[in-house]
């Protein structure tokens, strides 16, 4: 079964710290991996998309890496701010996965940045 796992489930850090969120997936045959942010009661905001041929993507203070062979991705957040508090979701588009182009999501990491 194709699954996506995120560790930790929750994380609380003081403002200003750099932090890493982890995502692992069970099948290396993927089209791409996407990181999303979700605020309480809201939809998902796309942060970064990494194609299967890429190793990393950067946007502002965010950097996402992809290692297909080990089935892992990390989301690095530099100089965290209270506004970064949200749930961060990792999603993978598996080749031959359910829903053709459908994404398989992890359960997310609930991040709290303490002012």
Partner 1 sequence: DTGVSQDPRHKITKRGQNVTFRCDPISEHNRLYWYRQTLGQGPEFLTYFQNEAQLEKSRLLSDRFSAERPKGSFSTLEIQRTEQGDSAMYLCASSSQGYYNSPLHFGNGTRLTVT
Give 60 or 115: the residue with its C-beta nearer to partner 1.
60
Burial class of residue 103, CB neighbours in 10 A (0-12, 13-18, 19+): buried
- Minimum CB separation of residue 62 from partner 1 in Å reads 14
Q: Is residue 89 involved in binding partner 1 (CB under 8 A)? A: yes
Residues 94, 7, 40, CA angle at the centre, nearest 5°? 90
Q: How many helices (H) and strands (E) does the chain have?
A: 0, 11
Please state whether the peptide bond connecting residue 8 to the residue before it is cis, i.e. omega within 30 degrees of 0.
Answer: yes
Q: Is residue 96 involved in binding partner 1 (CB under 8 A)? A: no
What character string, x for contact with partner 1 (CB under 8 A) and - otherwise, covers 11-50?
A: --------------------xx-x-x----xxxxxx--x-
Residues binding partner 1 (CB under 8 A) = 4, 31-32, 34, 36, 41-46, 49, 51-52, 89, 91, 93, 98-108
């Amino acid at each position: 079964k194709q699954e996506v796992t995120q560790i930790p489930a929750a994380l609380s850090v003081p403002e200003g710290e750099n932090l890493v969120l982890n995502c692992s997936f069970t099948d290396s045959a993927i089209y791409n991996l996407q990181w999303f942010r979700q605020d309480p009661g809201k939809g998902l905001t796309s942060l970064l998309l990494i194609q299967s041929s890429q190793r990393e993507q950067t946007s502002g203070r965010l950097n996402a890496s992809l290692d297909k062979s080990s089935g892992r991705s990390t989301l690095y957040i530099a100089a965290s701010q209270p506004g970064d508090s949200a749930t961060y979701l990792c999603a993978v588009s598996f080749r031959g996965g359910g829903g053709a182009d459908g994404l398989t999501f992890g359960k997310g990491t609930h991040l709290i940045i303490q002012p």
